[in-house]
Amino acid sequence: MTINGRVLLLNQTYEPLGTVSVARAIIMTFKNSVYVEEWDGDRVLRSAHDEFPVPSVIRRRTYINIRRRRAAAGMKRLRIYMRDKFRCQYCGEKKAATALTLDHIMPRSRGGDNAPVNIVAACIKCNTRKGNRTPEEARMPLLTSQSALRVKLERVVLCHYAEARSEWRKYLFMDVHDDRDIMEKVRREERA
């Protein structure tokens, strides 16, 4: 088992908080600060003298209020790329993160802000072509509607990781309510 894997971290109330590394999850287990909700199959982390079962989902023993912290936290470039599925939102080409930029739908010089709903992934060519104009002025319509861009970035990241971790789905309520399905439905409605 690689130490670089991710473990889903839940608040005491089962609210998803994010992910932590396997090493951090094992340390939290040793410190008795979390409950292990799900184990990662038969995977173990081995040291020179011992084996440690690897958790897949852990839950804090004490509640932390993260709403204010999340509201104040800065936006992350990778989260925008994940939300937009590493696709330029103008030409639709899938690119590596190094070939993408962030584009302000309403340019900052014209009053646009840094809110995630105003920022999309764009390839360098499209971002340069759009310049200091709105998508309408540049005649470059967005592939994703702005209503689909309102999905919380933290939720996008967790759903991205959960695609390969089926045991996480119930904690993220993905079987009941799948944000990817909602985003796809919004996209279909925009095209019609």
Please choose, from the candidates 73, 74, 57, the residue with its C-alpha nearest in 3D space to the C-alpha of residue 158: 57
pLDDT of residue 15: 86
Residue 178 has pLDDT above 80, yes or no: no
pTM for this model (two decimals): 0.51
Residues 27-47 pLDDT 10s:
999 999 999 999 998 888 888
Q: In the chain, which residue ranges form alpha helices assigned H by DSSP? A: 22-30, 67-72, 77-83, 124-130, 135-138, 153-162, 179-191
Domains detected in the chain? 6-68 (no CATH), 73-144 (1.10.30.50), 153-191 (no CATH)
pLDDT of residue 58: 96
